[in-house]
Amino acid sequence: MKSFRIKQMEQYIMERRTVTMEELCQHFQVSMNTVRQDVASLVEKGTVKKIYGGVTSVEKSPLLPFEQRRQRNADGKRAIGRLAAAFVEDRDIIFLDSGTTTMHILEFIEPDKQVTMVTYSLIAINAAEAHSNVEVICLPGKLERMTRSFTSADTIKALERLHINKSFMATTGISATGDVTNSSLLEHDIKRAAVARSKKNYLLMDGYKFGRPSLVTYTDISRMDGLITDEGPSADLTELCRRKSVALWAATPQESPQVLSENS
C-alpha cells in the first residue's frame, strides 16, 4: 500500500508541478509525518524537490527532434561511440538502440570483424550499408520521424525471438538513484525487451544527462554491465556506478579511455 500511495503522490505532484505539504495531507488523507516520509522517498528518487512549504516536480528532459539532439556534444558522442565499438567482438550479435550516440559505433567497428546488428533505428540501418562486414536485421514497425526509429507491437515480438550478445543502449537521462529513462513512450517497451534479451548491456550517455531523468524509466542502471560516458563524469555518477557495481568508462579524444571504475 505504501509503494502504491507514493506512486500516486508522485503522479499527483507531476500533474500539478508544485503542491504544498498540507495539500498532500488532505488529498491522501495521511498525517504530515507520513507525507514527509513519502516526499523524502521521491526526493531521493530524483523526481521531486523540496521547496519552502511544499514540493515541486523536477523538470524532465523533453523529447527533442533528432537533428537537434545530434548536434549537441557531437564530439563527445563520437568519442563514446568509438570506445563502445571496442567492446564488439568477431561474430557478435549486437543490438543498437536508436539515438544520436549509439549510431557512431558503426564508424569504428573493425572491418575484419563479422557482426550481426539488430536495430529499429533508421539511422543505424542506413549507416550499416557502407559496412559489408555488418549483417543487418531490421526490426519492423512504423517510422517515427522524431526519433528516426520504427516502433510497433511487432517490433517487440520480433525482438523477443532473438538472442543478443551485447546491447548498446541510449538514454535521455538518468536519475540520481539510477533510473535509466527515456522520453519516448513508444520506445519504452522495445528498450526493456532489448535489455532482457541481451547477455551484456552497455549504456552510452553524455555526462550532462545524469540527474536529469526523463518521462519513463525502462530499466535500472544495475542491469548494465557498463556505462560509457564522455570526459569528466561527476563524482555522484561515479559513486552511483560504484554502489550499483556498474563498470564506468570515460571516452576521451585520445586512443586510451579513462577507466573510472570496473565491475568486479
Cα end-to-end distance, the chain, whole Å: 37
pLDDT in tens, 187-200: 889 999 999 999 99
pTM above 0.75, yes or no: no
- Count the helices and strands in the chain (H runs, E runs): 10, 16
Of the listed ranges 40-54, 214-228, 230-244, the one predicted with least confidence: 40-54
Judge contact between 217 and 179, C-beta under 8 A.
Answer: yes
pLDDT of 66 higher than 80: no
Give the architecture (CATH level 2) of 66-261: 3-Layer(aba) Sandwich (3.40)
pLDDT in tens, 135-170: 999 999 999 888 889 998 899 999 999 999 999 999
Domain spans of the chain? 2-57, 66-261
- Higher pLDDT, residue 153 or 68: 153
Judge contact between 250 and 257, C-beta under 8 A.
Answer: yes
Nearest Cα residue to 121 out of 187, 188, 63, 71: 187
List the beta strands (DSSP E) in 140-191. 142-144, 149-151, 164-169, 173-174, 179-182
Nearest Cα residue to 187 out of 207, 215, 211, 222: 215
Pairing of strands 134-138, 142-144: unpaired
pLDDT of 233 higher than 90: no
Q: Which fold has domain 2-57?
A: Arc Repressor Mutant, subunit A (1.10.10)
Q: Where are the alpha helices (DSSP H) in the chain?
A: 2-16, 21-28, 32-45, 66-71, 74-85, 105-108, 122-128, 153-159, 185-197, 235-243
